[in-house]
Amino acid sequence: MPEVSLLLAAVIALALVFTFINGFHDTANAIACSVSTKVLSPRQAIALAAVMNFLGAMWSTKVAATIGKGIIDPQFATSQLVIAALVSAIIWNLLTWYYALPSSSSHALIGGVMGAGVAGHGTGVLRLHAIGEMLESLVISPFIGFFIGMALVLALFYTFREWAPRRVREIFRPAQVLAAALISFTHGANDAQKSMGIILLALIGGHMLAANADVPLWVKITCTIAMAAGTAVGGWKIIKTMGGKVVKLQPLTGFAVDLTSAGVILAATQFGLPVSTTHVVAGSIMGVGSSKRLSAVRWGVAGNMLVAWVVTIPITFALAWGFYLGLDLVNHHQLNRAAAGALAEVAR
């Protein structure tokens, strides 16, 4: 690990805190189905998710490159800017976790970087084309999860329509464990990359790395450990909302949700596109629930989740914008005091 300044070290520490929170905030979505169907105990699910998150996070850095170089021009990414972005995302994640609202860490991070970037350098710093592609993937992915989840569960219902319910449960209990492992792997492969990308952004902006640099190994390892540690803590409030309050799930339907979500996230990761595990899992759950009848979905709970999704980017944008200006004001005040002190010394 190269020598870094105190301010850059603070950025890295905040990025790891964000990753840790993401571990218990978003990973809860990945294991919610297997816990709610009682295929795995909470302790077993968290242990499985922690291991698979670790492996997934070490697998690819395509999403990290997208986050690190695709939201704003990295040369403008001062430590102050990245701190403002991370603090806004962390606050929003903790707030939505407290109220058991499954919101998107991806949205929070993108909104934060955009808000701090605009506050520091104006709208010209934004890479609008790349941001558009990111937002497009974030918006479309839950709908893809909805329709694929619905189609998959209908195909499974048709295939096993003459089987005894007990036999179907016996088959899909171990199958859901495998699907839960896969979605945890893909969550690590996509979500851990976002913090890697933020650290990469800060290192390039701080002239510690070249603009075309890849994610250093030490960044991969520290972010991966932070994600796994956060996963081990668990997120029981989110598990309760995602696993039971939206749709009542069985091993077959839980398998359909997890397999669908894992497939969508894996495909996005291959293209270097950040997606929200929360959004994709929720979309898949709603699609699976709607396969029988629309009333099977608790649309009131789904509506509250949708509101949280819609407001995440504007709120984190505004928070980061305010934090950046506040930090800027503090910096100017300190510079003025230092200048006044220097002048006083000269006068003596």
pLDDT of residue 332: 66
What pLDDT, on the 0 to 100 scale, is given for residue 346? Answer: 59
Q: State which H helix or E strand residue 262 sits in.
A: helix 251-270
pLDDT at 334: 65
pLDDT of residue 261: 92
Q: Tell me what the mean pLDDT of segment 6-15 comes to.
A: 87
Q: What is the pLDDT of residue 158?
A: 92
225 contact partners, CB below 8 Å, separation of at least 6: 54
Pairwise CA distance, residues 308 & 319, whole Å: 15
Instruction: Please provide the average confidence, as pLDDT, over all residues in the chain.
Output: 83
Rounded Cα–Cα distance for residues 297 and 245 (Å): 9
Lowest mean pLDDT among 4-13, 95-104, 318-327: 95-104
Higher pLDDT, 305 or 195: 195
Structure confidence at residue 53 (pLDDT): 82
pLDDT value at 1 more than 50:
no
Pairwise pLDDT comparison (292 vs 284), residue with the higher score: 284
Q: Is a pLDDT exceeding 90 seen at residue 126? A: yes
Give the C-alpha distances (Å, rounded to integers) separating 15 from 52, 118, 131: 21, 20, 20
User: For residue range 210-240, what is the model confidence (pLDDT) as tens digits?
Assistant: 878 888 888 988 988 888 788 777 655 555 5
Compute the distance between CA of residue 183 and CA of residue 214 in angstroms, rounded to an integer.
25
Highest mean pLDDT (candidates 141-155, 176-190, 334-348): 141-155
Asked if the model's pLDDT at residue 155 lies above 80, the reply is yes
Please tell me the distance from the alpha carbon of residue 220 to that of residue 192, in angstroms, as a whole number: 9
